[in-house]
Amino acid sequence: MTERVLRLAAIGGDGIGPEVVAATLPVLAAAVEGGGGTLVVSDLDWGGERYLRTGEVAPADAPDIVRNFDAVLFGAVGRYDVPDDIPVWDLVIRLRQGLQLAVNVRPVHAFPGVPSPVRDVEGVDFVVVRENTEGEYAGIGGRAHGGTGAEIAVEVAVHSAAAIRRVAGYAFQEARRRSAPLVAVSKSNAMRHGYALWDQVVAEVAAGFPDVAWERVFVDAMAARMIERPRSLGVVLASNLFGDILSDLGAVLGGGLGMAPSANICADGSGVGLFEPVHGSAPDIAGSGAANPLGCVLSGAMLLDHTGFAAAAARVRDAVAVTVADLTARTPDIGGRATTAQVAARLLDAVTARRRPARSERDSVGRPGLTAREAGTRAGMTQTPDAEDQPDRATTVGETGGLPGRNAAPEASQLSEDEMADTVSGAGPAGGTAADEPESSTAGNG
């Protein structure tokens, strides 16, 4: 078999972004190497720090630069000393629009036992499919009459039939693939132009999918339904702004923003995708080791799927299932005390354990008799045959270097399960988490 090379651009960005990306890359590398491939990573220093140094967040031709790669793994941008809109427009939205990443895919999956403020989330498993290039994020508008006390601002929401058609087409395909129902989110009762066009084009697309059950739900009712009946959801199709808001709400069902992955991709699956955790840069916890890397790691699994490394993606998802099942390998936002590096070490162990079954499938789960694959099954993860699996190889993560703090893992396992259970039931450690503090998820969101 010819060796397959995956060329990745890694943009850590600001705040916890570099920490979660650093935790993710070795896991992806090990998963790719487990199938006989090679991961080659180029680190791009784009973000707030570069802005303070050079006056620009990213080069003007950022979309063209990333087109040279197979995919982009992105952490987060935003820091207190840079105005929020600058990295968002010069990096996040520039890449989404510049690469025509018309679809933003945001799965919501409740892993067994991961605490959520919503009481009953067992079995919740749906995906938000968000339009990603226009709507309220089109960037068209202006301000006038400044300084008069009667200033006005206009923000034009743009909805084109072409964009609605392509995102709806993707969403209905996804509903068919999952054999799941689809909800099309709207607000055409109050916004009679843009969302009326949404309703019309969605109905046209739906006519081509007679096998998919679908309904239209207004966004306010949708917010309530996501809390009241989250298991009734399969695919949630939404405009840019509605999808942004509903995907944060969805993330809470899955244990918080730290758990939530996303993929920004072209509707037809071609081209370079941008894969990023839904959370922001959380500057308040940056550097403290409290960042949950799983949203970024699961984004990495989506990246692997998108680039044709399906077996490696399955290895990563299995490793995440094993890791969240281990109470000693949870960060504070999901009821544990482990650090980012300890979770990363656990993930890496679980990924490589798949290639060393004699030693470790028992250790890697912390309980005898439950293999990584079994734990993945329990967590409802998709199982993919190991078509790519090859014998062991050394792991190289390319230019980004190794994993910090890998040796710290044994400290986490010194905590007894009872101690960890205490933290799960609410006696969590001091110190904020992205999920606890609204500032974390909004400051520098990206």
- Contacting residues toward ligand IPM, per CB under 6 A: 88, 92, 244, 278, 445-446
C-alpha 343/C-alpha 415 separation (Å) is 14
Among 43, 244, 349, 361, which residue sits at the site for Mg ion (rule: CB under 5 A)?
244
233 binds, among ligand IPM, Mg ion, none (CB under 5 to 8 A by kind): none
Catalytic residue among 14, 125, 244, 333: 244
C-alpha 60/C-alpha 90 separation (Å) is 8
* 82 versus 278: smaller Cβ distance to ligand IPM: 278
* 173 versus 299: smaller Cβ distance to ligand IPM: 299
27 binds, among ligand IPM, Mg ion, none (CB under 5 to 8 A by kind): none
Stretch that binds Mg ion, among 157-165, 242-250, 309-317, 385-393 (CB under 5 A): 242-250
Which has the closest alpha carbon to 392: 360, 365, 366, 344?
360
Residue corresponding to tokens 């995102």: 167
Residue nearest to ligand IPM (CB): 446
116 binds, among Mg ion, ligand IPM, none (CB under 5 to 8 A by kind): none
446 binds, among Mg ion, ligand IPM, none (CB under 5 to 8 A by kind): ligand IPM
The minimum distance between CB 446 and Mg ion, in angstroms, equals 8
300 binds, among ligand IPM, Mg ion, none (CB under 5 to 8 A by kind): none
User: From its phi and psi, is residue 264 left (phi > 0), alpha (psi between -120 and 50) or beta?
Assistant: beta
The minimum distance between CB 299 and ligand IPM, in angstroms, equals 11
Q: Do 348 and 27 form a contact (C-beta atoms < 8 A)?
A: yes
* 13 versus 336: smaller Cβ distance to ligand IPM: 13
* 14 versus 244: smaller Cβ distance to ligand IPM: 244
C-alpha 65/C-alpha 223 separation (Å) is 38
211 is catalytic: no
61 is catalytic: no
Which has the closest alpha carbon to 35: 304, 272, 300?
304
51 is catalytic: no
Tell me if residue 430 falls in helix, strand or coil: coil
248 is catalytic: yes
* 246 versus 379: smaller Cβ distance to Mg ion: 246
**Helix or strand (DSSP H, E) at 305:** helix 294-306
C-alpha 198/C-alpha 206 separation (Å) is 12
The minimum distance between CB 132 and ligand IPM, in angstroms, equals 8
88 binds, among ligand IPM, Mg ion, none (CB under 5 to 8 A by kind): ligand IPM
Q: How far is CA 393 from CA 269, 355, 396, in A?
A: 30, 10, 9
* 222 versus 350: smaller Cβ distance to Mg ion: 222
Q: How far is CA 24 from CA 68, 270, 390, 418, in A?
A: 21, 24, 21, 29
Q: How far is CA 389 from CA 226, 315, 361, in A?
A: 39, 10, 16
Q: Do 253 and 116 form a contact (C-beta atoms < 8 A)?
A: yes
C-alpha 382/C-alpha 391 separation (Å) is 23
Stretch that binds Mg ion, among 112-120, 243-251, 300-308, 392-400 (CB under 5 A): 243-251
The minimum distance between CB 55 and Mg ion, in angstroms, equals 26
244 is catalytic: yes
Residues in the chain: 446
The minimum distance between CB 350 and ligand IPM, in angstroms, equals 28
Token pair belonging to 296? 């970024």
**Which are the catalytic amino acids?**
137, 187, 220, 244, 248
Residues that bind Mg ion (CB under 5 A): 244
